[in-house]
Amino acid sequence: MSYDSQNIFAKILRAENPCNKVYEDDATLAFMDIMPQAPGHTIVIPKEPAMTLFDLSGAGAANLIQVVQRVAAAVKQAMQAEGIMLMQLNGAAAGQTVDHIHFHIIPGSMHNLGKHASSGNVADDLAALAEKISACLT
C-alpha cells in the first residue's frame, strides 16, 4: 500500500482542512485531536509523507520524537497532569485509523481514558486548549 496524499493529516498539512495548531516547525505539526480521549489530547505528525514508523526516514523519526517530547512536556504543564500517555500505532491491525504516522499525547491516566472518536469537542474549547498548551512551549 502506498501513501495516500488525500488522508486527513495530509490535507491538514496542506491547509485544506483546519486544525487547532499547538506547534509547527519546518518538519513537524502538533494540533488538538478533534475527538479527544481526554482534555488536552494532542496529535503530533511529521510533514514527511509516511504511513507508519517503518516508512519514516531516520532523520524524520529523530525530529518527530524530539518534538513529541517537547509538546508532551507542554501538555503536561498546561493540563496540570500527573502523567502523560503516548500512543503511536502502526497499521490497521494495531488500530491506526489515519494512514500518516502520528503520536497521540494524552494527559492523565489510562484508567480514565475515553473512547477515541466517540465524541468531539467544541472548536472554541479546542482553540483555548491549543493556546494554553502553546503558551507552555515558550
Residues annotated as part of the active site: 102
What is the Cα–Cα distance from 23 to 88, expressed in whole angstroms?
18
Hey, is 78 helix, strand or coil?
Answer: helix
Amino acid at 29: L
Hey, is 109 helix, strand or coil?
Answer: coil
Q: What is the separation of C-alpha 111 from the centre of its chain, rounded to a whole number of angstroms?
A: 20
What is the Cα–Cα distance from 72 to 12, expressed in whole angstroms?
21
- Pair 79, 109: CB distance under 8 Å: no
